[in-house]
Amino acid sequence: MGSKWGKRPATFVALSLALTFLVAACGPQTATLRLTVHDPAGKALAGVDVAVKGKTAKTDASGVATLSGLEPGQAQIGVSGQGYQETRTETLKAGANQVTITLTALSLTIKSPDGVPRLRMRFTFKSGGKTVISEGAIVRDQASHWKISDDAEFVTTIGGTIYLKVDGRWQKLEGLAGAFAGAFTAVADGFMTGFQAFILSVSTPQVQVRQTGTGDVNGYQCRIYEVTGTASGEWVKSTVHIIGSGPYAGYATRTHWENAKGETMTTDVYDLGADFTINAPL
């Protein structure tokens, strides 16, 4: 009797291991995502559309949407509706996954820098294999300094004097200063105000605005927006970096444009509020 049952434990162990491997092999090979969506105040957002790997769902009254049968791995989660639109990339594992997304307002608004005491700007234009860079520095109620190329630059003062550098030589032009000094100082204000007006004018179904993530640009932590579509019959794409926190939150520190011709224009606004001076060269 003892010899008959003596081998049973080994048999049971082998059978248990086989069943364990069988269960593991037959385990969940797809991913299920339970997504919770909040507004900027942390409240649940109901009725928001969620799209993941070709599957869609809507959030319920608790701000929750569940999608099953997803392929494990990296997945782009798109959330839109109720005045919001955002894309997030997550890595899904086989089985259950839980992700919470707190949305930021979709409306892309840019503060005009007219209240910033000091700032620098850089315009980088690329076309046909050529790059042209123009740079400027502004000190409110004092002066501005602009460099147009390696050989041309000028300084304007609120007092009414323009210093112009051409072919390596500085000249003082007092007669023309009154009309131009204030105008050059206001370039930054006009550019950003004009950009915001453009964003409002092209907010149509043909032009899509979405927040694509966050990142550091020019020393600032930013929210990154992408604007794509057709405006005035021409395809354009713009990436806008909005400062996300601190005293200059809401200002655009970088905008990057490109069109179907391959032309690009990058505008950087930086050193906001930095301590620097502009001295007359003569």
Higher pLDDT: 187 or 169? It is: 169
Per-residue model confidence (pLDDT) at position 193:
61
67 and 119: one domain?
no
50 and 119: one domain?
no
Q: Which of 84, 105, 126 is the last residue of a domain?
A: 105
Whether residue 277 is contained in a domain is answered as: no
Whether residue 278 is contained in a domain is answered as: no
125 and 188: one domain?
yes
CA separation for the pair 62, 76 (Å, rounded): 22
Whether residue 231 is contained in a domain is answered as: yes
Per-residue model confidence (pLDDT) at position 10:
59
Whether residue 275 is contained in a domain is answered as: no
77 and 192: one domain?
no
Per-residue model confidence (pLDDT) at position 5:
39
82 and 131: one domain?
no
Most confident of 35-49, 80-94, 160-174: 35-49
Q: Which of 78, 105, 132 is the last residue of a domain?
A: 105
Whether residue 280 is contained in a domain is answered as: no
Whether residue 281 is contained in a domain is answered as: no
> Could you list the residue range(s) of the whole structural domain that residue 44 is in?
1-105
Report the pLDDT averaged over residues 69-96: 86
63 and 119: one domain?
no
- Sign of the alpha-carbon dihedral angle for 149, 155, 161, 164: negative
138-155 pLDDT, tens digit each: 998 888 898 987 778 888
CA separation for the pair 84, 105 (Å, rounded): 6
190 and 254: one domain?
yes
CATH number of the structural domain spanning residue 31: 2.60.40.10
CATH number of the structural domain spanning residue 248: 2.50.20.20
37 and 95: one domain?
yes
* Confidence band for 4, pLDDT divided at 50, 70 and 90: very low
150 and 240: one domain?
yes
pTM reported for the whole predicted model: 0.61
